[in-house]
Amino acid sequence: MKKRSQRVFFNKESDVLPVFRAVLLAGFAFIWGSPQFADLRPQALDVPLVNFHYDMKGVARDFVFVAESMDAVRDLRFMDQYFAFIAGRFVS
């Protein structure tokens, strides 16, 4: 088993291509689902692309909320010693 510093996520150049294609396809679907492209979308793909667009916007909004929450929790870590001191005084 390789050490953590020696791990390689993509072994060959050919492993990057499918990931790039998937990201590119998702990006096109996201952009095509935006309201600016409403007149250009085929009618059969209108609802799925719009739903995908709004779902991805929701995921991005939730990610920002989670990232901010994790940052706020990290900022409270300096109070661990204080909480331990208070807990020790009231528990004993």
Exposed e or buried b per residue across 50-88, where buried means at least 16 C-beta atoms within 10 angstroms of its C-beta:
bebbeeeeeeeeeeeeeeeeeeeeeeeeeeeeeeeeeee
Model pLDDT for residues 37-80, shown as the tens digit of each residue:
999 999 999 999 999 999 999 998 998 888 878 777 766 777 77
Output the pLDDT for position 57: 92
| pLDDT score, position 13 | 59
Phi, psi of 38 (to 5 degrees): -60, -35
Note the pLDDT of residue 44: 93
Which pLDDT tens digit goes with each residue over 5-24? 555 565 665 677 788 889 99
Between vectors from CA 63 to CA 46 and to CA 8, what angle results, nearest 5°?
100
Tokens of residue 30, six digits: 């996201």
| Sign of the C-alpha dihedral computed for residues 77, 82, 85 and 90 taken in this order | negative
Predicted pLDDT at 91: 64
Q: Where are the domains of the chain?
A: 11-91
Reply yes or no on whether the pLDDT at 92 is more than 70: no
Encoding tokens for residue 67? 């990232």
pTM comes to 0.59
